[in-house]
Amino acid sequence: MKISLTTKTSQQLTLTPQLQQAIRLLQLSNLELRQELEAFSADNPLLEIEDLGASGPEEAASEATEAGATEEWEAELGDGLTDWRGDGSGEDRGDRDGNGEVGFIRLQDHLREQVAGLHLSARDRAWLEVLIEALDDDGYLRDPLEELAAGFEALFESELGGALEEDEQLVGLRLLQSLDPVGIGSQSLKDCLGLQLRQLMGQAGAPAETLKAALLLVEEHLSQLGQVPLASLCRATGLSRELVSDALVLIRGLEPRPAARFQAQQDTSLTPDVVVTQTRAGKWVARLTRQSLPRLSINQEYARLIRDGESDSLMSQKLQEARWMLKNIAQRSETILRVSQAIVTAQQAFFSQGATAMRPMVLRDVAQACELHESTVSRVTNQKYMLTPLGCFELKFFFSSHVGTDDGGAASATAIKAQIESWVKAEDPARPLSDQALSDRFTEQGVVVARRTVAKYREALRIQSASLRKRQ
């Protein structure tokens, strides 16, 4: 074999420090961005932050003078808004106490701290991150694993290989469910209570017989608990009255909402990134809010000294870093606005008619409309909030799966849920609508929704079954 030297031309993407900073800033929430800016300004005296945390419309205008984008950026920001008290539609990521410190830890951050100590492959870690982000406010994993796996494949196929196998999906789910709080990642109330009971079984001194009885009641008779007499439960299970009674006491002491303590800590004050308004022509448009960012500027005295050559190279480097920060902040705002406007454009009917008019939409749709990568859209929509006439929503709220219609179209899962909720509210309490009856109503409207799909959406809305809703 002959050894020789050859030349080869190839292309390679290199993440410069500026690009890395831009990507990191893009996925931060308002609170996290303010913390990032505070830390940056503490190390770089050339970047000045004014009115940090101010909520008044005149006190929260963002400036990017040294980035050369002041006039355009301020025109995009529009009028300021006062703090918005969320209606629970979006998830707040944290707030500060009187000392300026974060007063609580988010559920997702609490889970990530535990995941950081696990020895996982990049593929498993990314899948676990998808599951963590999919948790609802109660700590449940309501979306089917197949749908989440499809989203994982769309985001990471080029980086982490092909589609997830079924066993890989289940391994990730079991890893999530092994974390604290117990019951996190459950797919139903039965799963949640069962996980807590099995965890108690592993503790020394646990009442084994009572725990076994409680697990039997949860797994096979959960719908009857509180609905039938104690004697009926005893006959159905073959257990003594005393044992069933003790098991019921144990079950009542379990936590049906694993994320409850994190929600209790959460302050509902939200600062929206975007506000949606209607033009005179009747079109809904998005615009950035002023108070979502503090006022930023370059220290003019330091800048003058650098221009006059009266400072060292370190200060020149600090000036360049400050300019990069201002430019990346401006770019972040522009990207958020582009993505938000694409969402608003696609969901015009939602803002006029409500959730029943929601169109099915996925990350790919917005990515194509904005000419961005899906991973970029995912970062933009994470922890960003939109204030609308219908409430304050996280941008992720507007993405949903779909079901088919008779004419070959599609209906949004969000619209389906809203319709189910509307029908249940209007039903006769003495003759509540069963899941099959709801499915039949959708069929009459030309929307194909299976009974089991109706049941899944009903449970996600925390609506009891027809038998439990019945009132004489």
> How would residue 276 be classed by pLDDT, with cut points 50, 70 and 90?
very high
Positive or negative, the Cα torsion across 212, 215, 221, 226? positive
pLDDT digits (tens, 9 = 90+) for 388-415: 888 888 888 888 766 655 555 567 778 8
Give the Cα separation of 143 and 126 in Å (integer): 17
Give the Cα separation of 450 and 146 in Å (integer): 17
Average pLDDT, the chain: 78
Give me the mean pLDDT over the 265-290 stretch.
80
pLDDT digits (tens, 9 = 90+) for 359-397: 888 888 899 999 888 888 888 888 889 888 888 888 888
- Evaluate if pTM is beyond 0.75: no
Give me the mean pLDDT over the 318-327 stretch.
86
Q: Crossing angle, helix 435-444 and helix 413-426, to 10 degrees?
A: 120
pLDDT digits (tens, 9 = 90+) for 75-112: 333 333 323 323 333 333 344 343 333 345 778 888 99
Report the DSSP beta bridge partners of residue 276.
286
Whether 349 contacts 360, CB under 8 Å: no
**pLDDT computed for residue 383 by the predictor:** 84
Give the Cα separation of 333 and 317 in Å (integer): 25
**pLDDT computed for residue 51 by the predictor:** 55
Counting residues of the chain whose pLDDT is more than 70, the rounded percentage is 79
Task: Give, for 276, the enclosing helix (H) or strand (E).
Answer: strand 274-278
Q: Of 158, 157, 149, give the one whose Cα is nearest residue 127.
A: 149
Domains of the chain: 17-84+269-397 (no CATH), 107-177 (no CATH), 189-261 (no CATH), 401-469 (1.10.10.60)
Give me the mean pLDDT over the 434-463 stretch.
85
Task: Please determine, for residue 196, whether its predicted confidence score (pLDDT) is greater than 70.
Answer: yes
Give the Cα separation of 470 and 459 in Å (integer): 16
Q: Of 452, 461, 471, give the one whose Cα is nearest residue 420.
A: 461
How many Cβ atoms from other residues are within 10 Å of residue 60's Cβ? 24
